[in-house]
């Protein structure tokens, strides 16, 4: 009987240890062996994501760099109120690749992040698979390819708002989709890139309230569409380019 009770106790303890929390935390003085709770935070996004439940949220307790991460489930990473940094020298900052059939939402939100390629990073955010991706109040700076690279093989919707996308050798936002991509870019500063917005085939951009300035090329499309709501500032680029069509604000 004692042996059975001990076995049950250890099994129950293991289930609590391995349980995933709806909200987890990271800190510059955390440790990835921790449970990522408010009082025992993890140190990196990669460490926290395995301990966060699908549709859960990772928050930042204090200013720090929390490392590159690959996201494979619906989740929110929100560092609003502090500096949540990702230093991605020589690599991608965030990869989104949500393919699990059981993940109904397949939705990822990145909010309040500073993703820095340090001049050698590849892409700031690389989207391979998801139903929806939201990038809000985020800085994407200094990548050798793109600030946001949309490379989906199944349909995706991407929403980028209130963000600063700058100093990327390729494009601020670019598509390489073999499926369909619907991208909304609103209230963003896109500057100092090779191309501000690059729309390749199967992709439709809708842009509103942006400042797209001092890129080598402002807007460029290759079989894709860029629809402007007539309230963007597109000026001071080597070549400004133009949208494929415009619609009135409603």
Query: What count of other Cβ atoms lies within 10 Å of the Cβ of residue 21?
Result: 17
Using the 8-state DSSP alphabet, how is residue 24 labeled?
Answer: E
Query: What count of other Cβ atoms lies within 10 Å of the Cβ of residue 240?
Result: 15
Binned at pLDDT 50, 70 and 90, residue 2 comes out as: low
For residues 87 and 208, membership in a common domain is answered with yes
The pTM for the full model equals 0.92
Residue 194 resides in a domain: yes
For residues 27 and 122, membership in a common domain is answered with no
**Tell me, what CATH number does 172's domain have?**
2.160.20
For residues 105 and 191, membership in a common domain is answered with yes
For residues 37 and 153, membership in a common domain is answered with no
Greater model confidence, 192 or 6: 192
Residue 58 resides in a domain: no
Residue 75 resides in a domain: yes
Residue 23 has pLDDT above 70, yes or no: yes
Please tell me the predicted confidence (pLDDT) of residue 249: 86
For residues 89 and 127, membership in a common domain is answered with yes
Please tell me the predicted confidence (pLDDT) of residue 12: 38
For residues 95 and 36, membership in a common domain is answered with no
33: left (phi over 0), alpha (psi -120 to 50) or beta: alpha
Give the pLDDT mean for 173-178: 96
Residue 60 resides in a domain: no
User: What share of the chain has pLDDT > 90, as a percent?
Assistant: 92
DSSP letter string, 69-130: EEE-SSEEEE-TTS-EEEE-TTS-SEEEE---TT-SS-EEEEESEEEEEEEEEEEEEEEEE-
CA angle 250, 158, 101 (to 5 degrees): 130
For residues 89 and 144, membership in a common domain is answered with yes
For residues 91 and 154, membership in a common domain is answered with yes
Closest to 181 measured CA to CA, from 197, 194, 200:
200
For residues 44 and 71, membership in a common domain is answered with no
Please tell me the predicted confidence (pLDDT) of residue 18: 53
Residue 13 resides in a domain: yes
For residues 113 and 233, membership in a common domain is answered with yes
For residues 152 and 236, membership in a common domain is answered with yes
Question: What pLDDT, in 10s, does the model give residues 151-163?
Answer: 999 999 999 999 9
Mapping DSSP to helix (H, G, I), strand (E, B) and coil, where does residue 47 land? helix
For residues 14 and 134, membership in a common domain is answered with no
Q: How many domains does the chain have?
A: 2
Report how far residue 27's alpha carbon sits from residue 93's, in angstroms, rounded to the nearest whole number: 18
Binned at pLDDT 50, 70 and 90, residue 250 comes out as: confident
Full residue range of the structural domain in which residue 17 is found = 1-53
Give the pLDDT mean for 161-182: 97
Give the pLDDT mean for 27-36: 98
Mean pLDDT of the chain: 93
Report how far residue 140's alpha carbon sits from residue 50's, in angstroms, rounded to the nearest whole number: 25
Please tell me the predicted confidence (pLDDT) of residue 75: 98
Residue 59 resides in a domain: no
Question: What pLDDT, in 10s, does the model give residues 80-133?
Answer: 999 999 999 999 999 999 999 999 999 999 999 999 999 999 999 999 999 999
Binned at pLDDT 50, 70 and 90, residue 243 comes out as: very high
Poorest-pLDDT segment among 13-17, 29-33, 216-220: 13-17
């Amino acid at each position: 009987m004692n042996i059975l009770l001990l076995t049950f106790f250890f099994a129950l303890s293991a289930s609590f240890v391995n349980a995933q929390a709806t909200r987890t935390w990271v800190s510059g003085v955390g440790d990835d062996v921790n449970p990522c709770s408010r009082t025992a935070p993890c140190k990196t996004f990669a460490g926290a994501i395995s301990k966060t439940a699908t549709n859960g949220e990772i928050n930042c307790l204090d200013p720090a760099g929390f490392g590159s991460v690959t996201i494979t489930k619906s989740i929110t990473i929100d560092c609003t109120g502090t500096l949540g940094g990702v230093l991605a020298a020589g690599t991608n900052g965030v990869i989104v690749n949500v393919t699990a059939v059981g993940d109904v939402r397949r939705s990822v939100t990145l909010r309040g992040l500073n993703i820095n390629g340090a001049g050698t990073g590849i892409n700031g955010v690389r989207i391979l698979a998801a139903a929806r991706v939201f990038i809000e109040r985020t800085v994407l700076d200094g990548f050798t390819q793109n600030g946001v690279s949309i490379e989906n093989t199944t349909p995706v919707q991407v929403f980028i708002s209130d963000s600063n996308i700058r100093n990327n050798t390729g494009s601020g936002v670019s598509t390489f989709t073999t499926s369909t991509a619907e991208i909304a870019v609103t209230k963003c500063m896109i500057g100092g890139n090779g191309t501000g917005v690059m729309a390749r085939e199967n992709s439709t951009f809708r842009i509103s309230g942006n400042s797209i300035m001092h890129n080598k090329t402002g807007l460029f499309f290759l079989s894709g569409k860029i629809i402007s709501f007539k309230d963007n500032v597109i000026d001071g680029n080597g070549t400004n380019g133009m949208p494929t069509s415009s619609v009135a604000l409603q």
